[in-house]
């Protein structure tokens, strides 16, 4: 049966589907990890000035970019290992 599987013309399509599913799951897991980390970082700070809120917004934007880059890097490593 093994030679039949190797010679099957649908094998490349099956591998592509598996890679697509894996990529989707890696993205879902990365998003879950991000959401959990984000919840840990949530903290209310009373009486913040506008400049503090602006600085905080910039920090969050940078953090999101870094986390997205880490997620994309992990996904590429997973793809390369296959």
Q: Does 40 reside within a domain?
A: yes
Tokens 């598996």 locate to 18
Q: Does 67 reside within a domain?
A: yes
- Note the pLDDT of residue 1: 41
The number of folded domains in the chain is 1
- Greater pLDDT, 19 or 10: 19
Give percent of the chain with pLDDT exceeding 90: 0
Q: Does 75 reside within a domain?
A: yes
Estimate to the nearest angstrom the gap between the alpha carbon of 25 and the chain centroid.
Answer: 9
Q: Does 3 reside within a domain?
A: no
- Rounded Cα distance between 69 and 58, Å, is 17
Q: What is the mean pLDDT of the chain?
A: 77
- Rounded Cα distance between 41 and 63, Å, is 11
C-beta of residue 23 within 8 angstroms of C-beta of residue 79: yes
For residue 60, give its domain range. Answer: 9-81
Q: Does 2 reside within a domain?
A: no
Q: Does 56 reside within a domain?
A: yes
pLDDT tens, 61-81? 998 888 889 888 988 888 887
- Note the pLDDT of residue 68: 87
Average pLDDT over residues 38-46: 66
State yes or no: pLDDT of 6 exceeds 80.
no
Against a cut of 0.85, is the pTM above it?
no
Residue 81: both structure tokens together: 């290992």
Q: Does 74 reside within a domain?
A: yes
């Amino acid at each position: 049966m093994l030679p039949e599987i190797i010679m099957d013309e649908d094998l490349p399509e099956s591998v592509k589907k598996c890679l697509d599913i894996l990529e989707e799951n890696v993205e879902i897991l990365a998003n879950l990890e991000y959401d959990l980390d984000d919840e840990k970082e949530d903290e209310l700070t009373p009486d913040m000035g506008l400049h503090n809120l602006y600085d905080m917004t910039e920090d969050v934007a940078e953090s999101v970019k870094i986390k997205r880059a880490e997620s994309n890097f992990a996904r590429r490593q997973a793809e390369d290992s296959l």
